[in-house]
Structure 1
Amino acid sequence: MAGETGKEAMVICLDVGPSMNQAPAGHETCLETSIKAISRILQRKVFADSKDEVALVLFGTPNTGNELAEDEEYQNITVAKPMGPATLDLLEYVVKDIQASNISADFVDALVVSMDLLEKSIKGKKFSTNRIVLFSDLGGEFSDDQLEPIINGLKSLDTELNLIGPDFDAEDEDDDEDNKNGMADGASNVFHRKEKTPQQRAGEALMKHILEAVDGTCYSFSDALGALSFFQCRSVKQTAWKCKLEIGPDLKIPACGYHKTKEGKMARSWGSTYIKGAGKEYSITNVRSYHLNNEEETEISQDDLVKGYRYGSDIIPMSKEDMDNMAYKSGAKCFKVLGFTKADNIKRHHYLGDGTMSFVSDPGDQAAGVAMSALIQALYETNMVAIVKKVYSSRSQPRIGFLSPHIKAKYECLYFTELPFSEDVRQYTFSSLSANKKHQPTDEQLSAVDDLITSMDLFKSNEDEDDEKEEAFKPKLTFNPYLQRAYQCLQHRALNPNDPLPEIDRVVESYLEPPKEVLTSCEPQVEKLKKLFKLERVVKKKEDKTGENLWKDGDVNEGAPAKKPKLDEDGDFTMESMAKGKVTEVGTVDPVKDFKTIISQKHEDRFTEAAKQMQERIRSLVLDSFRDQFYDKAMECLKVLREESAKLGEPDMFNSFLKEFKETLTEKNKTNFWDKMYTESLTLIDSSESSETKVTKQEAKKFLEGEEKKPKDEPVVQEDDEPEDLLAMM
């Protein structure tokens, strides 16, 4: 019955008899653990929007409800839920309605009922997998007269058999130790491994024989909880993106692209649902309205809205038609090589996009396979990558990326990874630690940090079954804890709408913790860091600029004079000086005041650092100014920087900056600011103003004049004559 749909037909067969409900106080029973495991199976299917179908069979029930029940056969076995898609109703039934009983039923008969239900349910349907999952501790009585028919039936139906029950490999002498230390993964209580009875051992022997005959698998209750704590992703059959890899006008290789990795997202937003009540379903809908920013908050229609974009001080309206006409036309779909470069030129922080695609040649084209293989081998041998332009369809925006070779023993392909355009790259400049010698780390401190990073290596922090080191948090084995926690909360909210959200699942929480081996290996390095990087508590000054200290009475005795308000560093008291904290950098709002505040801090020599920041502010104000919008502010900053540089004996620093700034203004076509400097006679600091420079008055005057200037009475061409419309400029 195998098909290509990827659907699974599963029958869950659960023992609710008395042996499943025995455990000391404070321990989980086998039934409680089984219900938790079944709920996680259903969670995986409900929240992944799976098309799988599930049926539920209970044995050990007081009543009997199955099609094979006749006379004294197949008694106390109930088909609780026929085959169908997993739903929240089924999940609620499993969590809330399954009850333990004091009646024991034959688990072999339950297997026969499950097989019969599975065979009848899959008729006329296509499933890729048929599965029966039996939950039982095998503690009840059973008969083995149908052993061979069961084995033959499972084989003929091509059905996988899974048993979740007692640990076959556990020895009785280890039971006590397990009871002390055994916490079922994800369980809130200690799972109790009780001593096996003779009846249970006989059931184990029978199930071992069946599992070996049909190549089935067995999991202990605690192991199953850990394995089922992971939420599977929605399974989707991939459709190849067929294209032609263009390498020049005469070479086009038919290729197929498949998603190798992609960002995992929830199958649906779950943002809207419905509420049941009085036989009706009340839909939750979103209503959006638009209002003016006035006192009346006047509502307006969406049809009266138009997008606007700021252009300088103006806002330019852009209708949908304008945006469609001005939008970039990417053309037909393509996958074109733009060039080749060394793999070392592609930096890891340039990787973009939400996934990676793998490209192979068209399976039906032998010549394409030879050409693709030659390209892959050539890129690998030369350590090169191909820069490509990718357009998924005529309605898609173009993407730029690189193709890197990937060669394995059984296959080879090209990996496509997206790269950023120039406007996607953001450059952030951080001040150097060398600006303050107190903050420069020593060689011993740097070495200690290197040792800490080395000790936290994840590539050899876990041990596999053969006690060999392996990588921790492998992407193939690591699941997204965000999705797991979200689905846990969704299930709880659906089944318990009035209760608070539950604590985070222990298995999910374990994924947020570093491996124990890493914590152990890095502990000495952490202690070393504590000694090398000492933390000292900063004691606040007794007197601070607070209202309590400023106006506090000097003496409780009548007639005693009150203390005067504490003044700021310039001798003036302001409320602003009380509220403002310590200035650490020259900002953009009031750079002049920030600059003066920093250089006035007598306990720190920060003039060089502050001057460099002030220079950057001047550059940005002039170069980013729309016309002369920020020229006055930049001129004020320049005057203050010149004055303080001459006063504090740093004229050469200012003069070097002014020479570079003049070249920048010429390159960026901002000579109108230089005209403003000429009018203000703002030039180099000469020797008459500071004895620390050798620049003469004549040299300073000549530098300011530069090329021949226009007469002052000549009318200056107004920049208002330039076109203001963005479309006209384009």
Structure 2
Amino acid sequence: MSQGIILILDIGRNVSVVDEKEEKSFFQSARECAARIIERKILSQGKNLIGIILVGSKTTDNNLAKQFDGAFKRIQVLDMVTPTWQMIRQLPEKPTETKGDWFDALMVAADYYKNVLSGVKLESKQIILLTNFKKKTSFDPENIDEVLNGFIDEGYEVNVIGPDIESEEYEKNESVQLVKQFIDSTGGATSTIDSIMKYDLLFHRKKLVKGMPWNVDLSIGPNIKIPVSAYIRTRDEPAVKNWVKSVKDSITGKSSKNESVTKTKEYINEETGQAVDAANKITGHHYGQQIIPLGDIDKGLMYQSGVKSLSVYGFTSADNIQWQNLNGDGLSYVFGRKGDKKAQKVIRCLVECLHELNLVCIVRKVYNTNNLPKLNVLMPVIDTNNYVCLSMIGLCYKEEIKQMSFPTTNLKKHKCSEEQVNAFKDLINAMDLTNAYDDTFDDNEAFPVAECVSPSVQYVLDCIAYRALNPDKPLPKPREEIMTLFKVPPLLEENARKPLEKLKTLFTLTKVEQKKRQNKNLLLDNDQLQNPNLQTDAPITPNIPKVHMPTKEEVVDEIKSISTINPIEDFKALQSQNKDLSELTTGMIKAIESLIHNNIDGKYNKALDAMKHLRMESIKFDPTDYNNWIKKLKTDLVECGKTEVLNQIIENQVSFILKAENNLSSYDNEHSHEESQLFENDTIPNSTELTISSDVLNMFDD
């Protein structure tokens, strides 16, 4: 079921003034807050519907204004839809010169929920009001009880984001006293813009999802089966689970979700090189260098893990389970099945026994029928305030554990004095994360386990939001709030200064230089063996196998095609073998195109030199193949956007072969110049956008 949120944003003249204490006007801060709320709802990927009501708008567009002439003016309603980036772009950039009534906007929001959106079932109906209450409402407070009862009956929740309405400045403000009644009656809350931007909207939060249980029977021996339910407590997840693919138009620069790249999958026989029908495919397994086919009879003999199960192998001491023995992608909590009081009582008894005896359960877990079985450990969890359950996490198999041997430290030379041990204790106490901040902060603990966010995930989501709103700008660096997650809190850094200085005096560190190992198996000649004192300037060659290097004549004989490494030398070598010029031209063209299209460093000297050589050879014979290729190459370069290569071709004079150079050519100086001008004018990519209608461009924007 979806959650409904209506943002009432005041854009009137009363929010346009910049206070002396603030750097921004209330309108600028409120707009940033509204954009941040919409952004967080988009990236949370939850089922949300968001509507926007503009107070103080130049136009009047709402349902109540149509029913009552002259009332509910200067209030514009933007329909409630799933939040999009376009919704943020549509927020007004500047305030207006008119004023609107925030109380009338509350009535318009309530009417929108009741009458306009009546057919949609919503889990919650929130109304968030962003105004500074400088405009006094015209509502008569004597009728407030009737309005409040209507809000309570419909289940509306009114929240206020704006100034600090609890301060002495707003004690005598009638509008503030009126909105407080809505907050108290509907169970809403109030907060300042600075506070909600600093704490609630500072980081991206995961959407709240109702936990789905994994129901199974916990089997202990052949006769005991306890109905249990496992809920995921923590799990490693990517920043974005599902990406919506779109194709970007290289000409317009817009992306479309309706177009895609078609991919086909074919099975090719390596021996014949022909495609094979998927129905004739036979599965197999690698056994060394051979592939063993797997027939239908063999499939029946394969190992089957069985049905979904959670079976106890036995019990072992909790000391045998170290952190390096654990794996998996998360942690689950196991409870007795909901509604089964006997199962809950048995699980509680099992947890208390394991805790008292310092034991854990080793279990075999099969998530679903014929899935891969996994080893897990069940450990007791006793929270006196909340719950008693078992925590379940994966265990490593023997081949997954890597043993690393370290030198022993139980030696006299490694023994520390009592003063050195106390110095480390002082450092640990000084860097206690539970007391990382002073009384000016709400919480003294730094990096709490249940609340600390992932810096990489935050930066990925920030980049997605920035790219959506700024498609042509480079991605920004991580913001300061993310970088603080990598820094030691200032108070801890100050407290640790003296203990660190003391440790430096107690421990003298000397740099250890590692000696280079020399190869003892050196190849010595007979003269060195007879006269060991003889010194030679030649380096000693280690004992390595000899490799036969081909001579220059052998390399020439091995050349069968023109490569991109030495295209000119390959061309000459093949030409000396009396190869046909048309065949050589085709190979040279392939090498040049490969050098141009697969270029990385932006240097095309090798390709241009090869073109010069090919042009000089083509002048001696029929230049038709060369001219046709140059014409096609220019078209391809313009379509690919490689105009710099086109300019270099013209500058290096490796374009068309003219009649003045070869009588067989159909190109002269004037014809070549005119065609070049016409060619360039007709293929400017930006001119294509002029032929696209505005409706098509709007579709790409959406």
Structure 2 counterpart of 1:15: 10
What is the CA distance between 1:252 and its match in structure 2? 0.9
* SS of equivalent to 1:414: strand
* SS of equivalent to 1:283: coil
What aligned pairs does 1:147-158 form with structure 2 within 5 A after superposition?
147-158=144-155
CA distance in 2, matches of 1:20, 1:8: 29
CA distance in 1, matches of 2:410, 2:476: 50
Shift in alpha-carbon separation, 1:339–1:462, aligned structure 2, 3 A: farther
Shift in alpha-carbon separation, 1:483–1:318, aligned structure 2, 3 A: farther
What is the CA distance between 1:121 and its match in structure 2? 4.7
Question: Which of 119, 132, 139 is the matching residue for 2:134?
Answer: 139
Q: Which runs of 5+ in 1 are unaligned?
A: 173-195, 540-566, 578-730
CA distance in 2, matches of 1:344, 1:170: 56
Structure 1 counterpart of 2:73: 75
Structure 2 counterpart of 1:225: 197
Question: Which of 368, 372, 378 is the matching residue for 1:403?
Answer: 378
Shift in alpha-carbon separation, 1:382–1:573, aligned structure 2, 3 A: same
Structure 2 counterpart of 1:663: none
Question: In the alignment, is residue 418 of structure 1 matched against residue 394 of structure 2?
Answer: yes
Query: Quick check: 1:105–1:141 contact (8 Å CA) kept in 2?
Result: no
Shift in alpha-carbon separation, 1:346–1:537, aligned structure 2, 3 A: closer
Query: Quick check: 1:256–1:361 contact (8 Å CA) kept in 2?
Result: yes
Query: Quick check: 2:136–2:174 contact (8 Å CA) kept in 1?
Result: no
What is the CA distance between 1:99 and its match in structure 2? 3.0
CA distance in 2, matches of 1:302, 1:526: 71
What is the CA distance between 1:152 and its match in structure 2? 2.0
What is the CA distance between 1:521 and its match in structure 2? 2.5
* SS of equivalent to 2:42: helix
Moved more, 45-54 or 454-463: 454-463
Q: Identical aligned pairs, as a percentage?
A: 26
What aligned pairs does 1:89-100 form with structure 2 within 5 A after superposition?
89-94=86-91, 97-100=92-95
Structure 2 counterpart of 1:427: 403
Shift in alpha-carbon separation, 1:367–1:214, aligned structure 2, 3 A: closer
1:204 is matched by which residue type in structure 2? V
Any idea what the Cα deviations from partners look like across 1:524-567, whole Å, max 9, x if unmatched? 2233345556788999xxxxxxxxxxxxxxxxxxxxxxxxxxx9
Shift in alpha-carbon separation, 1:324–1:495, aligned structure 2, 3 A: farther
What is the CA distance between 1:119 and its match in structure 2? 2.0
* SS of equivalent to 1:68: helix
Shift in alpha-carbon separation, 1:264–1:120, aligned structure 2, 3 A: farther
Query: Quick check: 2:247–2:255 contact (8 Å CA) kept in 1?
Result: no
Shift in alpha-carbon separation, 1:452–1:502, aligned structure 2, 3 A: same
* SS of equivalent to 1:156: helix
Question: Which of 41, 53, 57 is the matching residue for 1:57?
Answer: 53
Shift in alpha-carbon separation, 1:320–1:493, aligned structure 2, 3 A: farther
Shift in alpha-carbon separation, 1:464–1:133, aligned structure 2, 3 A: farther
CA distance in 2, matches of 1:386, 1:127: 44
What is the CA distance between 1:453 and its match in structure 2? 3.4
Structure 2 counterpart of 1:209: 181
Question: Which of 106, 109, 114 is the matching residue for 2:109?
Answer: 114
Question: In the alignment, is residue 250 of structure 1 matched against residue 245 of structure 2?
Answer: no
What is the CA distance between 1:37 and its match in structure 2? 1.8
* SS of equivalent to 1:340: strand
Query: Quick check: 2:57–2:96 contact (8 Å CA) kept in 1?
Result: yes
Moved more, 379-388 or 298-307: 298-307
Number of corresponding residues: 510
Structure 2 counterpart of 1:472: 446
Any idea what the Cα deviations from partners look like across 1:628-656, whole Å, max 9, x if unmatched? xxxxxxxxxxxxxxxxxxxxxxxxxxxxx
CA distance in 2, matches of 1:504, 1:351: 33
What aligned pairs does 1:420-569 form with structure 2 within 5 A after superposition?
420-430=396-406, 448-462=423-437, 471-532=445-506
Moved more, 46-55 or 359-368: 359-368
Query: Quick check: 2:51–2:81 contact (8 Å CA) kept in 1?
Result: yes
Structure 2 counterpart of 1:330: 305
What is the CA distance between 1:47 and its match in structure 2? 1.7
* SS of equivalent to 1:238: coil
CA distance in 2, matches of 1:528, 1:271: 57
Shift in alpha-carbon separation, 1:332–1:463, aligned structure 2, 3 A: farther
CA distance in 2, matches of 1:486, 1:305: 42
2:394 is matched by which residue type in structure 1? E
2:344 is matched by which residue type in structure 1? G
What is the CA distance between 1:223 and its match in structure 2? 0.6
Shift in alpha-carbon separation, 1:393–1:225, aligned structure 2, 3 A: same
1:573 is matched by which residue type in structure 2? P
Any idea what the Cα deviations from partners look like across 1:317-362, whole Å, max 9, x if unmatched? 3557699678642111111111111222211232221211111112
Query: Quick check: 1:11–1:118 contact (8 Å CA) kept in 2?
Result: no
What is the CA distance between 1:506 and its match in structure 2? 3.3
What is the CA distance between 1:379 and its match in structure 2? 1.4
CA distance in 1, matches of 2:398, 2:346: 32
Query: Quick check: 1:275–1:281 contact (8 Å CA) kept in 2?
Result: no
Relative to the length of structure 2, the TM-score reads 0.64
Structure 1 counterpart of 2:643: none
* SS of equivalent to 1:395: coil
Shift in alpha-carbon separation, 1:344–1:493, aligned structure 2, 3 A: same
What is the CA distance between 1:488 and its match in structure 2? 1.4
* SS of equivalent to 1:487: helix
Question: Which of 79, 84, 88 is the matching residue for 2:85?
Answer: 88
What is the CA distance between 1:375 and its match in structure 2? 1.4
* SS of equivalent to 1:396: coil
What is the CA distance between 1:218 and its match in structure 2? 0.6
Q: Which runs of 5+ in 2 are unaligned?
A: 514-532, 544-702
Structure 2 counterpart of 1:573: 539
Structure 1 counterpart of 2:345: 370
Query: Quick check: 1:353–1:417 contact (8 Å CA) kept in 2?
Result: yes
Relative to the length of structure 1, the TM-score reads 0.62
CA distance in 1, matches of 2:189, 2:98: 27
Any idea what the Cα deviations from partners look like across 1:462-504, whole Å, max 9, x if unmatched? 568997x754322332233322221211111112111011232
What is the CA distance between 1:443 and its match in structure 2? 6.7
Shift in alpha-carbon separation, 1:508–1:299, aligned structure 2, 3 A: farther
1:51 is matched by which residue type in structure 2? K
Query: Quick check: 1:49–1:267 contact (8 Å CA) kept in 2?
Result: no
What is the CA distance between 1:572 and its match in structure 2? 6.8
Moved more, 234-243 or 10-19: 234-243
Shift in alpha-carbon separation, 1:336–1:213, aligned structure 2, 3 A: same
* SS of equivalent to 1:393: coil
Any idea what the Cα deviations from partners look like across 1:498-517, whole Å, max 9, x if unmatched? 10112323333333333333
